[in-house]
Amino acid sequence: MFKKLFGSKKPLLTNEEVEKEMKVEDGQKMGVSEEMLLFGGFQELNEYFFFEGLFVSTKNFKSKTGANITFSGKQGEFTLPSAIQEFECDYAKPLQRHVSQISFDVTKAQIKKIQAGSYDTITFKFKNKVFELLKS
């Protein structure tokens, strides 16, 4: 009877199903966890370089104090600060996920390390929240 009143709850899409539904033109899948997918690419504006991260998450998040993303591997780690301080997610109903695009300051040397795949994990931190992703 309750299913008739409230409807049956549809199961959440898996990460693989979400990827099939998405069309990411600028960037590639860089990290994955149960809670989040990260797609990334690079932009240049007047000799300043940015890592453009597209975060697709099962959780809603926002910040007014910025974020950091850390790439870690056997050759060490490096952290990129967000170029913007305020960000929030939009809910993408077809994907059943929250989506946010965040820009991070990056150097040419760091771009080369990322493109070479010189990392094993990616840590996305803001406020008191931490998301750990594995290289995909």
Residue 19 lies in a domain: no
Residue 37 lies in a domain: yes
| Domains of the chain: total | 1
Which residue segment(s) compose the domain that 49 sits in?
27-135
AA letter at 98: H
Residue 131 lies in a domain: yes
Q: For the whole prediction, is pTM greater than 0.75?
A: yes
The model's pLDDT over 53-105, given as tens digits with 9 standing for 90+, comes to 999 999 999 999 999 999 999 989 999 999 999 999 999 888 888 999 999 99
| pLDDT value of position 27 | 75
| pLDDT value of position 125 | 97
Residue 18 lies in a domain: no
Q: Is the pLDDT score of 11 beyond 70? A: no
Residue 106 lies in a domain: yes
Q: Is the pLDDT score of 13 beyond 70? A: no
CA dist 65 to 101, 127, 130, Å? 15, 7, 14
